Structure formats: C-alpha cells, structure tokens
Amino acid sequence: MNTCCSQKNLTLVFRDLWTQHVIWTRLFIISTLSELNDLKYVTNRLLRNPNDFAKVLCQYYGRQKAKKFQDLLTEHLMIGSKLVNAAKDGKTDLADDARKKWYVNADEIACFLASINCFWSQEKWEEMLHCHLKMIEAETNYRIDGLYEKDIAEFDDISAQALQMGDYMAMGMMKQFYRP
C-alpha cells in the first residue's frame, strides 16, 4: 500500500491538476488570440502542469513512468498551441495537420495510462481525451469568432469534464494502491 497521499487527498490533487490544466490552457488561448503581453508567462505556467502531474505520479509509478506521462502531456500542449496559432492565422492545412497529431497524441496518452494501471481503461481515456480536444477546439473557435457567450459556456463544460478526468484518475489509483 502506498501512503504518498490519502485517498481523499488523491482525488483533490488530481481534480486540481486537471483544473489547472484547463484554466491555463484557456488563458493561453485568450493570450494567444488577443496577442497579450503575458503570453510568455502564461505559456511557461501552462508548461509547468505536466511537471506537476509527474511529481505526483512519480510517487506511485516511479520516475521513468512519470517522465513518460510528462513528455506526452507536454507534447499535447505543444501540438495544441500549434493548432490554436494555425486557427488564429486561418491556416487550415496547418490546423488540420496539428489536429491529426493531437488525436494521435491523445491515443498515446490513453494507451500509456492503461498500461500502468489496470483500473484505467484505454477506451475510457480515449473517450475523455477526445472529448477534451473537441471542447478545447470549440472554445478556441468561439473565441476567434467573437462568440464569447458560447466560449464561456464551453469552458464551463471543459471545467466539469476536467473534474471527471481527475476523479477517474484518482479512482483508478485508489483501486490500484489502496486495496484492502
């Protein structure tokens, strides 16, 4: 049994990590599309999120597996930034290419997570991650089109889904590490 985090804290930790992921992604989208002077700082903070995940995962899965997740999540963010920038610039071909790579990366994340925890379904992770990607892209497009009410409503859905991903991650780990 692992005593790194209590079961209750594990849920809170992963809810927070996924919430931070979507909040800083949103701020990146806004800063990029509005060409705000804080983009460098927002980007740096967003790119800290994979490392924050890795710190927690390392306690349970070791440095190598935590680093693998960190690398995959960093790649997810880098591809997403290319997609946002291509959409902003109206470069459909580049956006299509980034979108394809984004979904491949999501499937790689799902496969990896399922490989380290038998209580995480690859199909369930793919479903959640694909939904996440669709919502992030919709949020970006609403923002580009100036449909701010829809943009905000989409972010509400993204936030709720982030909590679901956090719960799923924590529940799988509780089953794996806190079994009686």
| The 3-state secondary structure of 137-169, one letter per residue | HHHHHHHHCCCHHHHHHHHHHHHHHHHHHHHHH
Cα separation of 141 and 37, whole Å?
Answer: 21
Query: Do residues 117 and 106 touch, judged by C-beta distance below 8 A?
Result: no
How sure is the predictor about 91, in pLDDT bands with cuts at 50, 70 and 90? very high
- Tallying the residues shown for the chain, one arrives at 180
| 1 pLDDT more than 50 | no
| 103 pLDDT more than 90 | yes
Across all residues in the chain, what is the average pLDDT?
A: 95
Across 12-163, the runs of DSSP E, i.e. the strands, are: none
pTM of the model as a whole: 0.94
Query: Do residues 20 and 42 touch, judged by C-beta distance below 8 A?
Result: no
